């Protein structure tokens, strides 16, 4: 499980702004949420796509 914090101005996955929570999201969903600023990772490592994966 990864610990996240809601950093965006609106709730994310039923967690309110500023709230920390544990969850397990798939790589793409986590990446989108972090990049748009909805959440940050408090504890755990960010899942990233392999750089050498051809498009």
Partner 1 sequence: MSKRVAFKDSVKVDLVDLSNFARSVRFNSAQERIDVSGFNATGSNEYLAGTTEQTVTIEFYGSYGTGEVHQTLYPLHKNRTTCVIHWRPDGTTPIGPANPELTGVCQILTYGPGATRGDADTYEVEFSAADPAGLSFVTA
User: Which residues would be at the binding site for partner 1 (CB under 8 A)?
Assistant: 7-14, 28-29, 32-33, 35-38
CB of 23 to partner 1, least distance (A): 9
CB of 24 to partner 1, least distance (A): 13
CB of 52 to partner 1, least distance (A): 20
The per-type count for the chain, helices as H runs and strands as E runs, is 1, 3
Nearer to partner 1 among residue 37 and residue 43 (C-beta): 37
| Spatial separation of the C-alpha atoms in residues 22 and 45, rounded to whole Å | 13
Identify the CA nearest to 43 among candidates 20, 25, 26, 27: 20
């Amino acid at each position: 499980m990864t610990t996240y914090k809601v950093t965006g101005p609106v709730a994310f996955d039923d967690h309110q702004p500023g709230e920390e929570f544990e969850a397990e999201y798939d790589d793409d969903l986590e990446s989108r949420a972090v990049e748009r600023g909805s959440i940050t990772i408090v504890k755990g490592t960010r899942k990233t796509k392999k750089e050498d994966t051809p498009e």
